Structure 1
Amino acid sequence: MKRLIFTADDLGLAPETNAGIERAHREGVLTAASLMVGEAGFEEGLRVARANPGLAVGLHLTLTDGVPVLPAAQIPGLTQKNGRFRDDMAGLGLLLALSPMARAELAAEVAAQIERFTATGLVCDHVNAHKHYHLHPLIAAALMQAAAGAGVRCIRLPWEPGSLVRAVDAASPGQAEWALKPWCATLRKRALNWNLLAPERVLGLAWSGHFGVDRLLGILPLLPDGVTELYFHPATQGGFAGSAPGYAYAEELAALCDPRVAEALAGIPRGGYAAMLLPKPLPPLS
């Protein structure tokens, strides 16, 4: 059976993302959101999560282009002089490979973000990482271990079938599928070792920030059976602090709220990660 997860990243980033995510859930088809626990909009994002119990909320682990939970002085290998995370993802990735101290800092910050999420009292539906930084093997290992220790059961592994994307938009850029598909398959096996499950495919990488209604309506009839995650960046407008240049935030929000999308989804199960991925308990014996 076809089962779908509609996720919004960046809950907790800014007022514009928080308001957009709440509207996309209440007025549209959004079923899940990933919460950034170190950003300026965290408290308001938490209010959105608590006010909308039907929205499955997970952790959007942030290790670049953001603010750490731990004091920057405790994790100097991960941060800049301004207290924010380093933005040179390749450079930090190399440091993690070479430095045991940096790996210890990584483990501490990942644990701190998990702990801040747990302290909210919310059930953590899933984990993923900002800019999919958990594709780095050491970040993936730290996140999987911390998530499993906190009782989380689901994770995003961002493999996107290029054939589906090109069937809707032949000009869409490729995502180095030759490398990403086998690597995500390896990560899936490692996740299973931690009792973590992932959707079979994810859509939104090639169209990140530009997943508009035409693309959404085009892709829905093509989705195969199994669990597919479609992820978005809805916000009421762009240009806010922390926004990505060129992202069409309001267009993605409009796509999620378009009545034609809701009509196309009639009869198709959709929900959060746990609802779509985890087996339901057997009924009691009569």
Structure 2
Amino acid sequence: FFALPQVRRQLAMEIRAQFEAFHATGLRLDHVNAHKHMHLHPTVARAVIEIGRDYGMIAVRLPSEPVEPLRAAFPDEHYSAPLYRPWIDWLRRRLHSAGLFVNDNFFGLAWTGGMVEGRLLRLLPQLPQGLSEIYFHPATARSAALSAAMPGYRHEEELAALLSPAAKSLVASLGIRLGGYSDFATGTATK
């Protein structure tokens, strides 16, 4: 499928259209990712790297969730390394060789839709060195469309975790710096 030249051309056109649509918003491009992490596929990754340069792409999210911090935060739960680890390692090398900035760690896959305050407070002290993204799906309220697209997600609780005074205090006491990918790529992130 991905080996067919016409499919690769269609893929490139779709990726360019996505970059164009974002560019039309006038927002600053912080980092690039793909729905369901499709950018881990080598064909998609190559196209994103090539086309993204035209739109000022400087950083790409890697869904690299190490299990050790999860096990330390929740020793009674079972976590295993993802089967797609080789693709993450391959893409990390490709992105570095292309001069692009990437995160070291990514948290929230194991708890997709459930990054609530209790989990966040237990995860923060276990964060490893390097740049970690913590993945949330916050919302102020549920809708039928949101519930249908993300059944079982705890959107309001995830928003509450992000706004939690306890989490803010813990972030400060641990000396965790907050910012977007581009803040760290350019060294402008602050505590």
Q: TM-score, normalised by structure 1?
A: 0.60
How far does the alpha carbon of each residue in 1:64-114 deviate from its partner, in whole angstroms, 9 at most, with x for none? xxxxxxxxxxxxxxxxxxxxxxxxxxxxxxx3x242212111100100110
1:102 to 2:10 alignment: no
The amino acid across from 1:123 in the alignment is R
Q: Which residue of 1 aligns with 2:135?
A: 231
CA change 1:252–1:265 in 2 (3 A) is: same
- Residue in structure 1 matched with residue 80 of structure 2 by the alignment: 174
Output the CA distance in 1 between the equivalents of 2:131 and 2:45: 21
Q: Is the 8 A contact 1:213 1:255 kept in 2?
A: yes
Give the number of aligned pairs: 183
TM-score by length of 2: 0.88
Aligned to 2:177: 269
Asked whether 1:221 is paired with 2:125, we answer yes
Shift of 1:238: 3.2
Q: CA deviation at 1:187?
A: 0.5
Question: Any unmatched runs of 5+ in structure 2?
Answer: none
1:209 to 95, 113, 120: 113
1:223 and 1:207 map into 2 onto residues whose CA distance is 15
Counterpart among 98, 123, 136 of residue 41 in structure 2: 136
Shift of 1:151: 1.5
What pairs with 1:5-84 in structure 2 (closer than 5 Å)?
Answer: none
Higher helix residue share: 2
Residue 26 (structure 2) aligns with: 121
User: Which secondary structure does the structure 1 equivalent of 2:58 belong to?
Assistant: coil
Tell me the residue number matched to 1:39: none
Q: By percentage of residues, which structure has more strand?
A: 1
Give the secondary structure class of the aligned counterpart of 1:143: helix
Q: Where in structure 1 are there 5+ consecutive unaligned residues?
A: 1-94, 281-286
